[in-house]
Amino acid sequence: MKRYLIFLTFFLFLLNNQIALAAPQVTAQAAILIDKETGQILYQKNIHQRRAPASTTKIMTGILAIENGNLSDRVTASTKAAYEGGSSIYLSPNETLTLRELVYGLLIKSGNDAAVAIAEYIGGSVEDFAKMMNNKAREVGALDTVFKNPNGLPKEGHLTTAYDLAQIARYALHNNFFAQVVSTPKKRISWPGHSWDRILNNTNKLLTRSDIVDGVKTGYTRAAGRCLVASATKDNHQLISVVLKSADIWSDSLTLLNYGFNNYKKVQVIDKGELVHKLDINKEELGLIAAKEFNYVLSKGSSIKIKKVIDIKKDISLPIIKGEQLGKLSIYNEDNELLDRIDLISDEFVGDSSINRFWKMIASKIQIYF
């Protein structure tokens, strides 16, 4: 890579000088608030303390079911699944539902039986599905998490952290179907052998108590205490909160989410398709544009110094296809921490100059009528 522009800096100024924000008070023994898009941490309390997650475990079970199964598949509940203790959607042995219905039962009603049925169908067994869960946890950056089952029932060594649950939820919420399910207050699914359907009421009461809350999952066991992973969206800005072993999961979660919206603002640094750099290619100017946007979250009234470093591929050869990746834009903060790396792509086709001139001449002389 050839480094064309090194340490290009600019400033983002908001309202006034930087101010210190008063941290919100929550009863939870561990808690975190992050920006869903950027992953920035806006509040933290014992975020790496390993704790029992209870049914917040089902966030991972749900996203694995969606990613690894066909939602229209028919899944038959085993006796083991049907007789799993705790919260339940009341599966019977050999009862068959679609995977879609089981995901609703898992994430809305928090069915432990649905979790086992999903695990056995997707992973072959609870044990093998737990391996899939742990592999996925590593993939999304949840490095202090160990899952032993798909539902969060007490099991020695089944542990996670507030930070890890935020990373798992952040990943899962990028899936449109997952986001749709966890934002659903009530759902009707089939109930074979009965003259009425199952009515699933979401255990996340914030969905009906707040207009901005749109997820995600509750949890409770005696060991874990009351837990909630919540999400909320306001003005196209989504935040994720996690509270573990809380005396009041509803109040704690709303306190964190409102703190985030009241004190932080998302600022666009790079727009998708924005012209970032120009190259001279075979005596022609070629624009390099950003393949995606980059936003940053700032406390209201603060400023940040952003550093941009552009690296261009060596030995670029013709022809160049429109949209071809020709470099990288690295974005750093003032502490030299990498915030993001964005592909730079060509904004047009560039071929041999003589061929280009020929086609431009032809195009200038030909009129096409429809």
Question: Residues 57-79: pLDDT tens digits?
Answer: 999 999 999 999 999 999 999 99
Average pLDDT of the residues in 106-127 = 98
DSSP characters for 68-136?
HS-TT-EEEPPHHHHT--SS-----TT-EEEHHHHHHHHHTS--HHHHHHHHHHHHSSHHHHHHHHHHH
36, 45, 87, 110: the catalytic one is 110
Q: Is the pLDDT of residue 333 over 50?
A: yes
Provide, rounded to the nearest whole percent, the portion of the chain with pLDDT above 90: 78
Least confident window among 27-31, 163-167, 329-333 = 329-333
**Tokens 């969206």 appear where?**
233
Average pLDDT of the residues in 134-156 = 98
Tokens of 238: 């989504």
Q: Annotated catalytic, 55?
A: yes
Q: Is the pLDDT of residue 81 over 90?
A: yes
45, 55, 87, 307: the catalytic one is 55
Which sign does the torsion angle of CA 164, 169, 234, 10 carry?
Answer: positive
45, 58, 307, 308: the catalytic one is 58
Of the pLDDT bands very low, low, confident and very high (cuts 50, 70, 90), residue 344 is: very high
Average pLDDT of the residues in 268-291 = 89
**Residue 316, pLDDT score:** 84
Q: Which of 308, 230, 240, 261 is nearest to 40 (CA)?
A: 240
**Residue 358, pLDDT score:** 47
Q: Annotated catalytic, 322?
A: no
Distance CA 57, CA 79 (A): 22
Distance CA 340, CA 332 (A): 7
Q: Torsions phi, psi of 214, nearest 5?
A: -135, 25
Least confident window among 132-136, 168-172, 215-219, 268-272 = 268-272
| Residue 196 one-letter amino acid | W
Q: Annotated catalytic, 253?
A: no
Of the pLDDT bands very low, low, confident and very high (cuts 50, 70, 90), residue 125 is: very high
| pTM of the full structure | 0.86
